[in-house]
Chains A and B, each alone.
Chain A
Amino acid sequence: MLGLIIWALTTIFTNTIHNLEERGIQTGFSFLDNVAPFGIGFSPIIEFKLGTSTYWDVFFIGIQNTILVSVFGVVAATFLGFVIGIMRLSPNWLLSRFALTYIEVFRNIPVLLQIMFWNFAIFLPLLPSPRQSLSFADSLFLNGRGLYMPKPIFDSGVGIWIYAIIATVTVIGLFMMGRWAKKRQDESGERFPARLIGAGILLAVLLIGYFVSGSPISLELPTLARFNLTGGLEIPLPLFVLWFSLTTYTASFIAENVRGGIQSVAKGQTEAACAVGLQRTQMLRLVIIPQAMRVIVPPTISQFLNLTKNSSLAVAIAYEEVVNIWAGTALNQTGQALIIIAMTVAVYECLSLLTSFALNVYNKRIQLVER
């Protein structure tokens, strides 16, 4: 058995070498340091500069964009999934049917079809061209290319440091207040609305501190240029569409997990919670969901992984994540299929290992609560 596996692997290896030689295809890692001869449109943190960025940069920009959409997608899908899952169990018949319909529709249609549908049939035709952008207070713009927002610009002077210190001190203070409030409630049972007051203080301090430190942050507004809006913070439409479709699709699976988890909590818990006079929201938040998490988390882990993997379908709508620009554009332009595919696969293997590791740790912690 083992011999067979080894033999198969070596044969594949020698065949590959032989084929590469026979067909005159060159291979090697040296191309990675070459300057990439094509352009990339969306590169928020690691910036792409035509003429100086290398293939390495292309690779990292791809990873960065994959992570970007996955992180936002995971957060939003978890939120939406919980909302729909709880709606599914609502005593309100209509609401529960509504959630059921949502779940059954979204999870039984291929996600690629959904992505293309939202992009080509809904958002692109319905959103206006850049010149007719929908604008809100001349600072938020929405058009067929994306959403444009004011971008905060941090001054380089002393002010920004003063402001940062003020903000840090406030946050630490609020954190301590929270601990004090919890301790008091544990001891005396009196509740202190720490969150509400905390939020108020934070807002006030940040606002006052802003002016005290000499307005160190300014906003760069998007302005209309010849073709489109320039400046400001841009969320390109493909990113939005991909995020939107992955969220709605994955949420339908998470909702089912949430429903299953909540239903797995013994009925006595609900009755007991009612008996001590908790409202439905309190009951869910304090009694049911903490217990349901044990059942919800494991299958949800795999949904997060699925979402990350599904982000590779961006190829269809021109969002520049790793499969699109690396296993797509870069592969085409260099012809280095072996190395590029191997690197792409490695990225996903790492991401999937990381996600499952992080969530397994969380899962372990939550399992310990069980007595």
Chain B
Amino acid sequence: MKLVKLIAIAGVVAGFTASAAFAGTLDTVKSKGHVQCGVSGGLPGFSAPNDKGQMVGIDADVCYAVAAAIFGDRSKTKFTPLTAKERFTALASGEVDILSRNTTHTLHRDTALGINFTYYNYIDGQGFLVKKTLGVKSAKELDGAAVCVQAGTTTELNLADYFRTNGMKFKPVVYDTTPQTREGFDKGSCDVLTSDKSQLAAIRSELKDPSGSVILPETISKEPLGPVVRQGDDQWFNIVKWVLFAVINADELGVTSKNVDEMKKSNNPSIKRLLGLEGEMGKDLGLSADWAYNAIKQVGNYDEMYERNVAPLGLSRKGSVNDLWTRGGILYAPPIR
């Protein structure tokens, strides 16, 4: 009997107070051999499984790029689909290493949840999707409408703010996941669906009759979306942030996955530094010299990511906020030097 008790106590002790030494995320990732990435998993263009069961989308690509930068192999990525509700706990508890799940950067989240936002891979704004038969032309006409919205998002708050500011009434119909919200709208449990405009485009494409609905012109909020990491691990924070900066810089410098090998011969010092031929950028991050080369070679620059994933939703990049600062957008990555 004593033996049993002893074993039980030992087991519990081991469980509760496992080694106090805290390994950095990079070391943990290297030792387990893959990057664990929290995604939505049900949002075409951002992260959704394709026919072969692989996760594709611009959010998924961020993780592929990070894996390529660390391991030189984009396939060393594993995905955990998360609901909006559980995403921050999943990140804070170490279940995922990166949260790349169309997450809006806000002050509250930055300060109160123990997480850090790196940079943005898509800059969005909230809009409305309405059934055409209602004949609504502007969001200002939505007084009294039932609005489908996903739980646990900033969307829910913006919605309340917007109607309050405009002195209108609404009836929220709150679902837990994007597919349920879409299903609710499609089957008529509400008049309007509100979400980030990129999502609206994706959702609309998935309706039974996409042409029966229309996205209203108003954008009612700022939604800078980007990958998030745990607070307190600066090295990991830097890696994720700079992988994202690297693919944006590659876009600016015209380095693509196709011409990256030729670009190695380029005389442009910026390109040389980007591809690890000059300077010790990789070492500073704790990675190999060809970290950015691998990411670009295997995943592509920002433009390729966008065109591959988001453009098919009918969201053109040209001239939008998501274009480079040199082309009229606001995407601006600090220099690699």
Contact = CB atoms under 8 A, between A and B. Distances in A.
A201 to B, nearest CB: 43
B90 interface: no
Contacts of A333: 152, 156-157
The residue in A24, A129, A316 that gathers the most chain B C-beta atoms within 10 A of its C-beta is A24
Given A8-B12, A329-B151, A320 B174 contact: yes
Interface stretch (B119-127, B180-188, B236-244, B310-318): B180-188
Contacts of A315: 176
B189 interface: yes
Given A37-B157, A227-B134, A333-B152, A144 B187 contact: yes
Residue of B9, B145, B160 most packed against chain A (CB within 10 A) = B160
B144 A329 contact: no
A41 B161 contact: no
Contacts of B113: 23-25, 335
Given A25-B112, A228-B146, A144 B172 contact: no
B143 interface: yes
A25 B152 contact: no
Contacts of B146: 41, 145, 227-228
Interface string A310-333: 000001101010001100110111
B231 A24 contact: yes
B29 interface: no
Interface in B121-170: 133-134, 141-146, 151-153, 156-157, 159-161, 163-164, 170
A325 to B, nearest CB: 8
A230 interface: yes
Interface hub of A120, A315, A318 (most chain B Cβ within 10 A) = A318
Interface residues of A, number: 44
Contacts of B157: 37-38, 333
Contacts of A324: 151, 174
B26 interface: no
A15 B311 CA distance: 46
B172 A38 contact: yes
Given A51-B164, A237-B189, A329-B174, A335 B88 contact: yes
Contact of B151 (A40, A238, A328): A328
A120 B112 contact: no
A225 B188 contact: no
B79 to A, nearest CB: 22
A281 interface: no
Contacts of B114: 22-25
B12 to A, nearest CB: 7
B145 A227 contact: yes
Interface of B: 5, 8-9, 12, 16-17, 84-85, 88-89, 92, 108, 111-114, 133-134, 141-146, 151-153, 156-157, 159-161, 163-164, 170-176, 180, 183-184, 187-189, 191, 230-232
Given A124-B184, A125-B187, 19 more contacts: A11-B16, A22-B114, A25-B92, A25-B113, A37-B160, A38-B156, A39-B159, A39-B160, A39-B171, A39-B172, A129-B188, A145-B188, A227-B134, A227-B191, A318-B175, A328-B176, A331-B152, A335-B88, A337-B89
19 contacts: A37-B157, A38-B157, A50-B164, A124-B184, A124-B188, A127-B188, A145-B188, A226-B141, A226-B143, A227-B144, A228-B146, A315-B176, A318-B175, A318-B189, A324-B174, A328-B152, A333-B156, A335-B88, A335-B108
